[in-house]
Chain A
Amino acid sequence: MQEHDMSWVRTEMALAQPAPAGERGLYAWVRKNLIATPSDTILTILGIVIVAWILPQAINWAFINAQWTGPDRSVCATVAQGGIQPDGWTGACWAFVNAKFGQFMFGTYPIEERWRPILVAILFVAVLVPMLIPRVPRKGLNAILLFLVLPVVAFFLLVGGVFGLQHVETARWGGLLVTLSLSFVGIAVSLPLGTVLAMGRRSKMPIVKMLCVIFIETVRGIPLITVLFFVSVMLPLFLPAGVSFDKFLRALIGVSLFAAAYMAEVVRGGLQAIPKGQYEGADSLGLGYWQKMGLIVLPQALKLVIPGIVNTFIGMFKDTSLVLIISMFDLLGVVKQNFADANWATPQTAKSGLVFAAFVFWLFCFGMSRYSMFTERRLDTSYRK
């Protein structure tokens, strides 16, 4: 047996040393992230060239050279184009956006009545924000307010014709008002309808299943424009003579049906991911079909597919811009309509208007996707990782 005379056990931990000099500080970061290998260095140079080419131009255009206020096109046009700017000037014409801001938001909604959409927007935010913050209690009441009370109030406020409010026909609605109301109704209709369709597709009743499959696959196979054509051209033919639909309502039906088909596929993915034991467990407790679905399966399934649901919402929000093809004026439609305004026609008008619209759309979509990521993390009760 071998004997160790010298035995030594560390009784106190050695002090933590700082990382070697080559591993910390700006230089180490640069070396690791920008110039790790020769090809990396080439890529970095390429990236710097791209950024150096685009960024100053973009900042110059959007901020430094931009015209923020002005009465008409002259502030955004060069001398040669009949304006006041020097030759070779390019910059954003925010004055155009500024002058048309009311139209971009409300379309041709009567100016003295615009407090109504503003009030609806305030109510909407007031009901939506507590709904989105997890810590605020009474989610059930909140949901009833948001999905049942608010739509009714908003309908009477926006359309009018009662309580002494002036009637405003939907043809005069426009801008962000149309974009938001179309998307809100689309979301509120497509989620329940899509869920029902998904359940129908997984139903054991062959006829119900077949009908759901035909609907979902047909709608998913054709572009939204075709669906909008369908509702705007065919719906009037389907109804008895004399009965006619509001154009706004037709667009609503088209957008909702289209989104419902996509939503159905998302929800189906969630339903399929729920293990069979959950269904059987619910059965063995003696729950009926709707109880089983409503209390056991759907809460788990919908939670699983939150990212997909929000992606469908984002897609639908973007798709509402297509209603301009059946000559309705959502945000993009109004912006585009205003390019034709001779009072503001300059080479910069179109670009500025579109960048503004893009920014508004981007803000909403990016916000939705970030919120979905937040919810996904919060609801993640699984033991993965």
Chain B
Amino acid sequence: MASQEILRGEPSRGSFINDPRVRSLFFQVLVVLLLVGSLYWIVNNVIDNLRRLHIASGFQFLGSRAGFDISDTPIAYTSDSTYGRALVVGLLNTIIVAVAGVITATIIGFVVGIGRLSQNWLIRKICTVYVEIFRNIPPLLVIFFWYSGVLAVLPPPRESIHLPFGSFLNQRGFYFPRTVWGEGNWLILVALVLAIAMAWFVAYRARQRQMVSGQRFPVFWTSVALIVGLPLLAFLLSGMPLTFDFPKQSTFNLTGGFQIKPEFLSLYMALSCYTAAFIAEIVRAGIKGVSKGQSEAAGALGLRSGPILRLVVIPQAMRIVIPPLTSQYLNLTKNSSLAIAIGYPDLTATAGTVLNQTGQAVEGVFIMMIAYLVLSLVTSFVMNIVNARMALVER
């Protein structure tokens, strides 16, 4: 039949202008043309400008002498080192402050977040005030507050504040005894590694045994005993090869010991305090996200409040908490670039100096972007592994 033929064939679409596929193709070609056109224009301009300013493009500058000093150097660096090494120092400083900040912010954040759900009215209010203050002021301001408001007005070295364990606090930072290891310290390190491996093995066997027989084993205390005890034993056996280099007060300065500079201290404190406020909110939302029936059911099974929190509520809350926690860690890493404002030599600050000295703007910004992207990707990767372990396993 004729009518059926028409139904079976391609439906009439009218003009091809109204065909979604044609339209989509047209728009995409347009976008590509626009993009290529503007890229061509930009690249042309850049080449033009660089030629005019007599800047050679390329990464050769990384091998030449830097000629500037860096105040905090985790690896050997002098002004005779190369630009490349300066950038590595900057990257290491960023990583150091980010890792230290992440650990502290997580601890403060969890304490404050749980505190906001406490039964205790006073604790709840204190935690709320903390969160509302730090969430609503810029991180840069917090950094300045620690730097110019708190640390800069400490007494000069001559009138240093004495703290326990032979440490000092003054304008130039925090000084504490440096540990000096003698002969035989490798034995302690070996013992520590061995202890961690044994603790892991004990935890593994204990879990297996509990799965089979239901009997529990005090894994935590055994691990603590192993990890503290074995190195201590090694320490005693190898004849206590440890002395302390105490900071000593001389007329104008402190000599010896280990110094943490105020730049690092204020950046680290500010990032920790600031990010902790956000982590606290995430933790609170996570715990509130676990339905009340879970803890009531656990109570009905006869668990006490400690085990309820540890075995039932927190593992479920962690599933809600980890994804936003990851983005807070990423934020903290990115915010560490504010170091430039107080002169802590992190990646952005050193790259900025390199960029100013060499005029290699394109390469400098490119290196910065790649470095931060890689840091972000690594953090996300690690946290995704953690998340996968925590995620709900559905059968």
Binds A, one of B44-52, B187-195, B212-220: B44-52
Task: State which of A50, A226, A350 has its C-beta within 8 Å of the C-beta of B148.
Answer: A350
A325 to B140 Cα, complex, angstroms: 10
Binds A, one of B77-85, B120-128, B293-301: B120-128
Q: Is the CB of A365 within 8 A of B135?
A: yes
Interface string of B189-206 (1 = CB under 8 A from A): 000000000000000000
Interface string of B111-145 (1 = CB under 8 A from A): 00000001111110010000011011111110011
Q: Is the CB of B138 within 8 A of A319?
A: yes
A208 to B25 Cα, complex, angstroms: 11
Q: Is the CB of A351 within 8 A of B153?
A: yes
Binds B, one of A161-169, A190-198, A233-241: A233-241
Q: Does B373 sit at the interface, judged by CB under 8 A? A: yes
CB nearest neighbor in A for B18:
A288
Q: How far is the CB of B76 from chain A (nearest CB, A)?
A: 27
| Most chain A CB neighbours (cut-off 10 Å) among B133, B136, B335 | B136
Interface string of B336-375 (1 = CB under 8 A from A): 0110110000001000100100000110110011001100
A351 to B154 Cα, complex, angstroms: 13
Q: How far is the CB of B341 from chain A (nearest CB, A)?
A: 6
Q: Does A361 sit at the interface, judged by CB under 8 A? A: yes
Which secondary structure dominates chain B's binding surface?
Answer: helix
Q: Does A339 sit at the interface, judged by CB under 8 A? A: yes
Q: Which residues of B contact A240 (CB under 8 A)?
A: 45, 48
Q: Which residues of B contact A100 (CB under 8 A)?
A: none
Task: State which of B35, B120, B341, B373 has its C-beta within 8 Å of the C-beta of A222.
Answer: B373
* Residues 35-81 of B at the A interface (beta carbon under 8 Å): 35, 42, 45-46, 48-50, 52
| Most chain A CB neighbours (cut-off 10 Å) among B35, B338, B355 | B338
Binds B, one of A16-24, A41-49, A120-128, A134-142: A41-49
Q: Which residues of B contact A321 (CB under 8 A)?
A: 138, 140-141
Q: Which residues of A contact B140 (CB under 8 A)?
A: 321-322, 324, 332
Q: Is the CB of A366 within 8 A of B335?
A: no
Binds B, one of A32-40, A109-117, A292-300: A32-40
Q: Which residues of A contact B153 (CB under 8 A)?
A: 347, 350-351
Q: Does B381 sit at the interface, judged by CB under 8 A? A: no
Q: Is the CB of B119 within 8 A of A36?
A: yes
Which secondary structure dominates chain A's binding surface?
Answer: helix
- Size of the chain B interface, CB-CB below 8 angstroms: 56
Binds A, one of B7-15, B26-34, B226-234: B26-34
Task: State which of B48, B137, B377 has its C-beta within 8 Å of the C-beta of A318.
Answer: B137
* Residues 48-69 of A at the B interface (beta carbon under 8 Å): 48, 50-51
Q: Is the CB of A34 within 8 A of B28?
A: no
Q: Is the CB of B120 within 8 A of A34?
A: yes
Given contacts A322-B338, A332-B141, A358-B137, contact A233 B365 (CB under 8 A): yes
Q: Is the CB of A241 within 8 A of B141?
A: no
Given contacts A321-B141, A369-B136, contact A238 B45 (CB under 8 A): yes
Q: Is the CB of B141 within 8 A of A44?
A: no
Q: Is the CB of B136 within 8 A of A226?
A: no
Q: How far is the CB of B310 from chain A (nearest CB, A)?
A: 16
Q: Does A229 sit at the interface, judged by CB under 8 A? A: yes
Chain A contact patch, size range? 35 or more
Give the number of A-B contacts (CB < 8 Å).
Answer: 157
Given contacts A241-B52, A365-B136, contact A51 B126 (CB under 8 A): yes
Q: Which residues of B contact A218 (CB under 8 A)?
A: 369, 373
Q: How far is the CB of A351 from chain B (nearest CB, A)?
A: 4
Q: Does A357 sit at the interface, judged by CB under 8 A? A: yes
* Residues 216-250 of A at the B interface (beta carbon under 8 Å): 218, 221-226, 229-230, 233-234, 236-241
Q: Does A204 sit at the interface, judged by CB under 8 A? A: yes
Task: State which of A43, A324, A336, A351 has its C-beta within 8 Å of the C-beta of B120.
Answer: A43
Q: Does A362 sit at the interface, judged by CB under 8 A? A: yes
Q: Is the CB of A350 within 8 A of B136?
A: no
- 5 further contact pairs, Cβ within 8 A, besides A43-B118, A354-B141, A358-B137: A225-B337, A237-B46, A237-B362, A351-B150, A361-B141
Q: List 17 A-B contacts (CB under 8 A).
A: A33-B119, A44-B123, A50-B126, A207-B32, A225-B337, A226-B368, A229-B355, A240-B48, A241-B45, A241-B49, A314-B136, A318-B139, A339-B148, A350-B144, A351-B153, A354-B145, A358-B137
The 3 closest A-B CB pairs, nearest first, are: A365-B136, A350-B148, A33-B121
